[in-house]
Amino acid sequence: MSRKALFASSNFWTSPSQVGTHAIAHALLRMGWQVAFISDPLSPFHFFKKDLSLSRQRFRIYRQGGLSTHQGKLWAYLPMAAFIPRNYPLLRSSLVFKNWPQLTFPNLFRTIRQHDFGEVDLLYLDNSTQSFWIDKVKYKKSLFRIVDNYSAHKKYTPCNLAAEKKLAERVDLIIYTAAKLKSYLTKFQINSARFFPNGVNFDHFNRPRKNLPAEYANIPHPRIVYVGETKTRFDYNLVKTAALRLPDYSFIIIGNDNLLKKFFRKTTNVYLLGTKPYEDLPSYLQFADAGIIPYNLKKHKTLIDSVNPLKLHQYFAAGLPVLAARGSELENMKTPAHLYRSEDQFVRSLQEITQQKVVPEDLFDYAKDLDWQPRVEALMADLQLT
């Protein structure tokens, strides 16, 4: 009989942003595990947002009763609740935080049992909103993955942080993605913790080139690409300044562009392509000339110092030289990335790395050592779950 895992994640399975939690789940599926992937809930309030595209995607999963893929080995589910925890008046209360699972329809716990995931080998959590699973399912081993200094996030409430403390002190193992986060854990009485940095699905991003993306046909070289979220850390002013100072360069942003459209409306060499399926990302990287990680060091230094960027390894696996904000984590990682502190340095470095002859093998070697599959297999062996 194959092993089972229950994943409780802030992201949904088919999200355009495929993060480390997705990669770890995929690695287990390749090992023959059965996986239930439960994402944070929807509520009626989601449908009052200006941009409904992600809410519609999530609602389709809920309406179908979840997705079943990988020959039935994966069941991805997204609950619907009357109220969900948010950092707003009333919704940030402990009453909502503790009771939102009871307000799901159909009942979340009954749904889990019906799909035979009431007892699992591994309970995996990557945030505190679903911390209740530690008391609601039977499990052999539990794992909490910490990828950020959560206390620095505006959306986190005192309830989130109290639940995070509870998880950190009760799970069998914490894995954290940035060395800086080790000090973040000192406030907890933890059982065991391990540095487990982000990785990459190397074969996915290093695969042979396919056709040029259609949008690139009208985007001249050098193409400077960014893939990822633009809500919190992204430095709008830096990218705009660079685009104005380098009018012959094309700056391509792949991700949710709702906040970007107005800001870059008159910047003709900034191309907003919106979100792209994970399956298509390699082509958008392989036909670019450099990858950037333009984090806002002035506003979000605490967050940036604790981030091990997933996109960094994806850029390398695709053979792209990288220019990234000089946070302490990236400095300590000693990657082949070029790092900047100022706007001037960002612009100069872009010119340098697009003019140099890059030896992709160096980048490939670095990324290949961080392939998810062997690392997840070793992690499961250490948990005695092989």
User: pLDDT tens for residues 199-226?
Assistant: 999 999 999 888 899 999 999 999 999 9
pLDDT at 49 over 70: no
Q: Where are the beta strands (DSSP E) in the chain?
A: 4-9, 34-39, 67-69, 74-77, 119-125, 138-146, 173-176, 193-195, 223-227, 250-254, 270-274, 290-293, 322-325, 338-340
For residue 299, pLDDT beyond 90: no
Long-range contacts formed by 268-275: CB under 8 A, 24+ apart: 269/243, 270/239, 270/240, 270/243, 271/215, 271/219, 273/215, 275/16, 275/17
Query: Per-residue DSSP letters for 168-198?
Result: HHHSSEEEESSTTHHHHGGGS--S-EEE---
> Is pLDDT above 90 for 284?
yes
The 10 Å Cβ neighbour count of residue 332 is 13
Please check the confidence at residue 259 and state whether its pLDDT lies above 80. Answer: no
pLDDT for position 240? 96
Bridge pairing between strands 74-77 and 67-69 = antiparallel
Neighbouring-strand partners of residue 104: 81
pLDDT confidence tier of residue 50, bands split at 50, 70 and 90: low
CA distances from 20 to 27, 114, 123, 213, 291 (A): 10, 28, 16, 25, 19
Q: Per mean pLDDT, which range of 76-90, 140-154, 189-203 is the poorest?
A: 140-154
In angstroms, what is the C-alpha Rg of the chain?
Answer: 21
Q: Distance between CA 257 and CA 271 in Å, rounded?
A: 10
Q: What pLDDT is stored for residue 51 in this prediction?
A: 65
CATH assignment of 202-368, among 3.50.50.60, 3.40.30.10, 3.40.50.2000, 1.20.210.10: 3.40.50.2000
Which candidate, 318, 253, 322, places its Cα nearest to that of 286?
A: 318
What is the layout of strands, in order, in the sheet containing 138-146?
A: 67-69, 74-77, 34-39, 4-9, 119-125, 138-146, 173-176, 193-195
More confident: 295 or 357: 295
What is residue 150's predicted lDDT score, i.e. its pLDDT?
Answer: 73
Residue 106 has pLDDT above 90, yes or no: yes
Report the residue count for the chain.
386
Closest CA to 30 of 73, 88, 79: 73
The predicted model gives 91-96 an average pLDDT of 91
Q: Distances in Å between the alpha carbon of 264 and those of 186, 221, 260, 268?
A: 42, 19, 6, 8
**Cα–Cα distances in Å, from 372 out to 199, 249, 310, 314?**
5, 33, 11, 12
CATH number belonging to domain 4-199+371-382: 3.40.50.11010
Mean pLDDT across the chain, nearest whole number?
Answer: 92
Residue 31 has pLDDT above 80, yes or no: yes
Q: State the pLDDT confidence band at 174, using cuts at 50, 70 and 90.
A: very high
**Same fold yes or no, 4-199+371-382 and 202-368:** yes
Taking residues 283-303, report their average pLDDT. Answer: 91
Spans of all domains in the chain: 4-199+371-382, 202-368
Which comes out higher in pLDDT, residue 301 or 25?
A: 25
Average pLDDT over residues 324-333: 88
pLDDT in tens, 62-93: 999 999 999 999 999 999 999 888 888 888 89
Residue 10: CB atoms within 10 A of its CB come to 16
Identify the band that residue 152 occupies on the pLDDT scale cut at 50, 70 and 90.
Answer: low
Q: Helix 236-245 and helix 343-355: axis angle, to 10°?
A: 60
